[in-house]
Amino acid sequence: MDLQAYLDFEKKIHLEFSDKELLRQAFIHRSYINEHKDTGLEHNERLEFLGDAVLELVVTHFLYLRYPDDPEGQLTAYRSALVRTESISEVARKLGMNDVLMLSKGEAKDQGKARDYILANTFESFLGALYLDVGYDAAKLFIETHLLKNIDTIIDEGLWRDAKSYVQEKAQEVYNETPHYETLSEEGPDHNKKFVIAIYFGEKKIAEGQGNSKREAQQNAAQAALEKEHWLE
C-alpha cells in the first residue's frame, strides 16, 4: 500500500499525523508481515495493545460521567456493548479502514466475521498510533465522535444486556431449552489465540462467534443468536 492511500485516509478523517510510518503501521496485520518478511515493516499488535487501553479509559470515563446513578455492573454492560467487535468493525468500515489494511492474500479474501475481528483490532491499533502521534485529547475526540454517539441506540434497543444471560432467558422462555456452547476451532499462538465457538439450542446449531478467549467467543455467539432469532427487536 503506497503512502498516498494513507494521506487520503487522513483527509477523510480530518486528522494529520507527523509520523506517516506510524500511521501506516497501524494498518499492517501480522499476516502481511508473515508473507513479506523482507520489508522491514512491523505489524500493528503493539499499537493495538496500547489503543485497547486508551479506548477502555475513554469509554469508561464517558459512561461514569454520563450515568452517575447507574451501578458498576450496568456501566460494564454498556461499555461491553460499545466496544463489541461488531460495533467497532462497523465504525472502522464507515471510516474506510478496510481500504487501507495490509493483509496476506489469504486474509484479504475473507470478508466475513474474521474481517470484522481484524477491523476491530485495527481500530484499536489506529487509536494507539493516534495517541502516540497526536495525543490523548485527539484520541478521545476521535472515539467520542465516531463511537460514543452510539450509546443512545444501545440503551434504547437494549443492546447493553449481557448476551449470554439474555439468550439463555429467551431460549428457555421460547423453546424450553438451555443453550450450550461447543468450541469449533482454536488457532494461533498463546498470546494471540482465536477461538470459534457455536451456540446450540438442544441439537440445533444457531450461530457462531469468535474471539481471543472462549468467553469472548461465547458472548459473540450469544449475540449472533439473539440477532438471528430477532430477540433484540
Query: What are the residue numbers of the active site?
Result: 52, 124
- The one-letter code for the residue type at 228 is K
Beta bridge partners of 210: 196
**Cα 187 from chain centroid?**
18
Instruction: Number of helices (H) and strands (E) in the chain: give both, helices first.
Output: 12, 3
Three-state DSSP at 179 gives coil
| Cβ neighbours of residue 168 closer than 8 Å, sequence gap 6 or more | 178, 179
- Of 62, 69, 101, 99, give the one whose Cα is nearest residue 83: 62
Q: Tell me whether residue 141 is exposed, middle or buried, using C-beta atoms within 10 angstroms of its C-beta: 0 to 12, 13 to 18, 19 or more.
A: middle
Could you say which DSSP state residue 28 is in? B
Q: Hey, which residues does 186 pair with through a beta bridge? A: 195
Which residues are CB-neighbours of 27 under 8 A, at least 6 positions away? 1, 6, 44, 97, 100, 101, 102, 122, 125, 126
Which residues is 196 bridged to in the sheet? 185, 210
